[in-house]
Each structure stands twice: as C-alpha cells, then as structure tokens.
C-alpha cells in the first residue's frame, strides 16, 4: 500500500470522528519501504527498497497553501528547494543541478531524483505525496526515465531533516505573493527559455518554454502567441537549432 492511500484512509477516518488525529494540516504519513507507490498516470507505480528513500504523504488543508499556482508545483518547489539546501550544506557542488521538470518531477543533473503527486480529498483537503531517492534508485532498464539518488552526489541527508525543511518551505510559500512564488518555481524549472516539444496524446506542441503560469500551466511561445498547456509530457526539441538534449 502507498503512503497516499494510507493518508487518505487516515484523513477519512479522522473526519468521520473514528480517530482523534489525522485531520490536522501538516500531518505526515511516511514509510521505510514501498512496493506500490502511486505515480502520475493510471498504470504507473513507484517502488523503493527499505531505507533507500524519503517516502511520505503530507495531509494539507487548502487554506495552508497559496491559491495559485497549482499545489503540485508548490509542493515540488518546496521539495526541490529543501534538497538544494541539503546539497549546499553537505557538498562542495552546492545546489547546482537541482531542477523541476514540469509538471511534477525533481531532477538532479540529467536524471530523475524524485517526484510529487498531489490529489484532492474532498473540497478542503489535499494529499501531497513526495518520493525522493536518498541512497539508491531502481536500475535504468526498469524505468521510463533514468534515475539517480542523493548519495551519488555525496549527500545523504536525514529523512526527518529533509521532511522538516519541506514543511518549512511550504509554510513560507503560504505567505508569498503569486508573483514571488512563480519566480521561485521558475527559478528551478527545467528547460526554461529553451525550445521544447510538449506531447499531449497524439498532439505535439513545439515552441519556447517561457515558464509557469498562475494556474500552474506550462507557457509555450509558438508562432507569435502564448499557448497555455495544463497537461502533457515535455522534452527538449532536439530538432531545433541550438536546443540542448538536456539541461
């Protein structure tokens, strides 16, 4: 069972009055091992060996998050910034290489370090699932996107400290203006100002990725107009002159 499922069950029982805890914003459900973690997409799962990763779901009341942009991006920024702080504090490389790949992945250099999945729970609650590889990751042949872990960069943070830093960043975000928060998120955004291809089913949108809009959408500049994209998979446009394969 995933922490997301466990958190949803806990919140439901708490709201029904069956238990006296759970319906408190900031409550964390975490585990040491996961074999069927939830991931974006109906058939995607995330697995992690015992002790290898930060695996948690944070129960959040909507009032404790800013109204915009999308909650998944706010949580993703909070996690990426916390990882960057840990890297800066414990390695000589600093925070270089940490980025967010729209809409919900955390990258270290050219490899996926973790991800965020946010789901609603009724009208007032959100479940923010976070997975970050700390000491190992699955082999490349088992993944759609090659992965890495913080230990490969010489950083092995304490999971509790990392969770605490994420919560601190979420608390800070609640007091930011929308523009300040968008600037903070865009500061970590992968492929920013590069030509990309956005895959939406059979459709392909080619253009320059100019950042995140106020509703969490990807802004693609193409043919003199701005296209607001709320879903899809983004990758660099390798056919475009000067476009990098990765950042």
The phi, psi pair for 127, rounded to 5°, reads -115, 115
Residue-wise pLDDT tens digits, 42-85: 445 556 677 889 999 999 999 999 887 789 999 999 999 999 99
Query: Using 50, 70 and 90 to split pLDDT, how confident is the model at 247?
Result: very low
Q: Is residue 247 in a domain?
A: no
Answer whether residue 107 shows pLDDT above 50: yes
Q: Is residue 55 in a domain?
A: yes
63 and 165 together in one domain? yes
- Lowest mean pLDDT segment, chosen from 8-22, 84-98, 205-219: 84-98
User: For position 142, what pLDDT does the model report?
Assistant: 78
Answer whether residue 200 shows pLDDT above 90: yes
**Which range of residues forms the domain containing residue 76?**
3-186
56 and 139 together in one domain? yes
- Lowest mean pLDDT segment, chosen from 6-15, 28-37, 114-123, 220-229: 28-37
99 and 216 together in one domain? no
210 and 120 together in one domain? no
Residue-wise pLDDT tens digits, 165-192: 999 999 999 999 999 999 999 999 999 9
Answer whether residue 34 shows pLDDT above 60: yes
User: Does the pTM exceed 0.85?
Assistant: yes
Kindly report the CATH number assigned to the domain that includes residue 217.
2.30.30.100
What is the average pLDDT across 17-41? 79
75 and 115 together in one domain? yes
121 and 226 together in one domain? no
46 and 137 together in one domain? yes
Question: How many structural domains does the chain have?
Answer: 2
Q: Is residue 243 in a domain?
A: no
User: Which are the contacts of 238, defined by CB distance < 8 A and separation ≥ 6?
Assistant: 245
Q: Are 196 and 225 a contacting pair, CB within 8 Å?
A: no
Q: Round to whole Å and give the CA distance between 35 and 47.
A: 4
Kindly report the CATH number assigned to the domain that includes residue 129.
3.30.930.10
Residue 22: strand, helix, or coil: coil
129 and 103 together in one domain? yes
User: Which are the contacts of 34, defined by CB distance < 8 A and separation ≥ 6?
Assistant: 2, 3, 46, 47, 48, 53, 55, 131
Tell me what the pLDDT averaged over the chain comes to: 88
């Amino acid at each position: 069972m995933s922490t997301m499922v466990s958190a949803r069950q806990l919140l439901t029982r708490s709201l029904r009055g069956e238990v006296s805890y759970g319906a408190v914003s900031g409550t964390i459900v975490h585990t040491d091992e996961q074999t069927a973690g939830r991931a974006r997409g109906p058939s995607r799962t995330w697995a992690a060996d015992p002790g290898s990763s930060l695996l948690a779901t944070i129960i959040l009341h909507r009032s404790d998050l800013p109204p915009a942009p999308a909650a998944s991006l706010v949580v993703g920024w909070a996690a990426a910034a916390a990882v960057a702080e840990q890297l800066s504090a414990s390695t000589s490389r600093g925070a270089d290489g940490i980025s967010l790949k729209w809409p919900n992945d955390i990258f270290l250099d050219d490899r996926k370090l973790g991800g965020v999945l946010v789901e609603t729970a009724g009208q007032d609650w959100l479940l923010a699932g976070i997975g970050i590889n700390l000491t190992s990751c699955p082999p490349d042949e088992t993944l759609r996107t090659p992965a890495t872990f913080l230990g490969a960069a010489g950083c092995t943070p304490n999971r509790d400290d990392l969770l605490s830093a994420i919560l601190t960043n979420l608390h800070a975000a609640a007091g930011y203006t929308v523009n300040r928060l968008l600037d903070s998120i865009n500061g970590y955004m992968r492929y920013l100002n590069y030509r990309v291809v956005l895959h939406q089913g059979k459709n392909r949108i080619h253009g320059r990725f100019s950042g995140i809009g106020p509703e969490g959408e990807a802004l693609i500049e193409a043919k003199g107009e701005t296209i607001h994209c709320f879903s899809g998979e983004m990758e660099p446009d390798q056919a475009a002159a000067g476009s990098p394969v990765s950042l």
